[in-house]
């Protein structure tokens, strides 16, 4: 198949390092590895593609269309420009076609992918990761709230399947678009990229965290817990992998706690380098706050588990459904550094338990929570098959039997295939 992947969110550099960027990369990777050709439409690339994607681009199986960022004088002006720019995205998708299917990551002002699919009569998957109008209003400001909710309705009702990362997100979509074909599919992990360490060198017990350093990740709690842990495990270290607006505040917190010398912060790290850093950890944390937003699907938890690490996570949101307490990890109350430190201390003193829980965690995600599983089920909800084969499109094929055979017969004739295209819109 030729598939249009649309990510119109200017806050997601599709080849970047943040969690949303990794999500985009993994879906595209799975589609490419299954033999499909992908046109990736985005506002920002944020860097160069990973090696396999670069190879696919050279072969003519991946084309990247970067339309440029959207700027405005204030919040209201940016919103108006973003709504207008959705037409530019639709025109870019239309010009890049024809496509056999569309996969769109829901963004605040875009219906381009699902509109194209509806107009052309091809299947479309709409992936929804969060109630973006609420997030926008809370963290950045939202002027055109009614219009933002109308975008959700149009995109959801125009999709063959609306794939939501959690039940709370699904309930939100159903409330706004009662007729939408909504399914729930949590995040996944690439278990070939992230594997357990071959062995543990002689080093101090190390607690880890991977993610953007923002308030809703609860990183200040893990710093407090680490300081408490050092009372019983004096050489315990903390490894923070990621960057974000809280970075300086966390450095100051470590200095105040007297643990700065035992805390290492890596800054932003490319996804390809994350596995090596996970191998330096003995335990990994997902310390979300008690009063946090409970609709997220915790990407970091799946990555920890794939690395064979015992996870200590807050018992909030979707985490109790991901981590089975005592078997694949441990759950503690959110925003409770004492409880977190207690569980970390227990694990610091029991290497056998760490290994047992880590093995079970790895087996759990490998058996049904890889990105291949996620994409396969997401496409199936729209009546599509991931694996290249004669029935991958059913009755929706627009380019004939060759589209399912991975021979790129419809792509090779397209001028500029495999080249990165930049459209000067909204810059």
Write the CATH number for 139: 3.40.50.2000
CA-to-CA distance for 308 and 366, rounded, in angstroms?
Answer: 11
SS3 breakdown of the chain: % helix, strand, coil, rounded to 5?
Answer: 45, 15, 40
Count, in order, helices (H) and strands (E) of the chain: 15, 14
- What are the pLDDT digits (tens) for 267-315? 999 999 999 999 999 999 999 999 877 899 999 999 999 999 999 999 9
pLDDT at 423 over 80: no
Does one domain contain both 26 and 150?
A: yes
What was the pLDDT predicted at 409?
31
Does one domain contain both 105 and 26?
A: yes
Whether 24 is in a domain gets the answer yes
Residue 138: alpha-carbon gap to chain centroid: 21
- pTM for the model stands at 0.88
Residue 385: alpha-carbon gap to chain centroid: 22
Q: Where are the strands (E) in 199-352, listed by range?
A: 206-210, 237-241, 263-265, 283-286, 311-314, 329-332
Does one domain contain both 20 and 102?
A: yes
| Coil, helix or strand at residue 184 | strand
Mean pLDDT for 396-414 is 33
Choose the most confident range, by mean pLDDT, from 69-73, 198-202, 343-347: 343-347
- Percent of the chain surpassing pLDDT 90: 86
pLDDT at 410 over 80: no
Does one domain contain both 159 and 271?
A: no
What was the pLDDT predicted at 425?
29
CA-to-CA distance for 362 and 304, rounded, in angstroms?
Answer: 9
Q: Where are the strands (E) in 217-262, listed by range?
A: 237-241
Question: Residue for token digits 């959690």?
Answer: 166
Q: How are strands ordered across the β-sheet holding 283-286?
A: 263-265, 237-241, 206-210, 283-286, 311-314, 329-332
Structural contact between residues 3 and 100, judged by C-beta atoms closer than 8 angstroms: yes
Mean pLDDT for 221-233 is 99
Domain count, the chain: 2
């Amino acid at each position: 198949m030729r598939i249009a992947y649309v990510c119109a969110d200017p806050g997601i550099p599709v080849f970047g390092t943040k969690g949303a960027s990794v999500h985009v990369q993994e879906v595209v990777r799975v589609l490419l590895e299954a033999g499909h050709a992908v046109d990736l439409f985005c506002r920002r690339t944020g860097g160069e593609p990973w090696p396999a994607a670069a190879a696919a681009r050279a072969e003519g199986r991946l084309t990247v269309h970067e339309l440029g960022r959207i700027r405005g004088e204030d919040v209201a002006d940016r919103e108006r420009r973003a709504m207008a720019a959705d037409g530019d995205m639709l025109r870019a998708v239309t010009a890049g076609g024809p496509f056999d299917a569309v996969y769109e990551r829901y963004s605040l002002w875009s219906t381009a992918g699902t509109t194209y699919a509806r107009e052309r009569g091809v299947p479309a998957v709409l992936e929804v990761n969060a109630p973006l109008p609420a997030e926008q209003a809370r963290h950045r400001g939202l002027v055109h709230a009614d219009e933002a909710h109308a975008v959700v309705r149009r995109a959801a009702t125009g999709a063959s399947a609306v794939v939501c990362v959690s039940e709370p997100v699904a309930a939100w979509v159903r409330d706004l678009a009662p007729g939408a074909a909504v399914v729930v599919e949590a995040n996944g992990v690439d278990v070939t990229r992230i594997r357990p360490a071959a062995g543990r060198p002689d080093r101090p017990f190390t607690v880890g965290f991977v993610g953007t350093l923002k308030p809703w990740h609860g990183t200040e709690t893990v710093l407090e817990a680490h300081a408490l842990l050092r009372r019983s495990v004096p050489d315990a270290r903390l490894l923070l992998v990621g960057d974000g607006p809280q970075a300086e505040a966390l450095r100051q917190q470590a200095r105040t706690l007297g643990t700065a010398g035992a805390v290492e912060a890596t800054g932003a790290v490319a996804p390809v380098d994350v596995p090596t850093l996970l191998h330096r950890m003995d335990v990994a944390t997902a310390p979300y706050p008690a009063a946090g937003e409970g609709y997220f699907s915790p990407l970091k938890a799946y990555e920890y588990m794939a690395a064979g690490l015992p996870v200590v996570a807050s018992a909030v949101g979707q985490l109790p459904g991901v981590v089975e307490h005592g078997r694949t990890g441990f759950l503690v109350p959110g925003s409770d550094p004492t409880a977190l430190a207690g569980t970390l201390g227990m694990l610091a003193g029991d290497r056998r338990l760490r290994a047992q829980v880590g093995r079970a965690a790895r087996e759990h995600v490998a058996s049904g929570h890889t990105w291949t599983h996620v994409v396969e089920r997401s496409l199936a909800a729209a009546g599509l098959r991931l694996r290249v084969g004669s029935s991958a499109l059913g009755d929706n094929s627009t380019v004939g039997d060759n589209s399912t055979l991975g021979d790129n017969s419809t792509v090779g004739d397209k001028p500029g295939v495999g080249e990165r295209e930049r459209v000067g819109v909204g810059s």
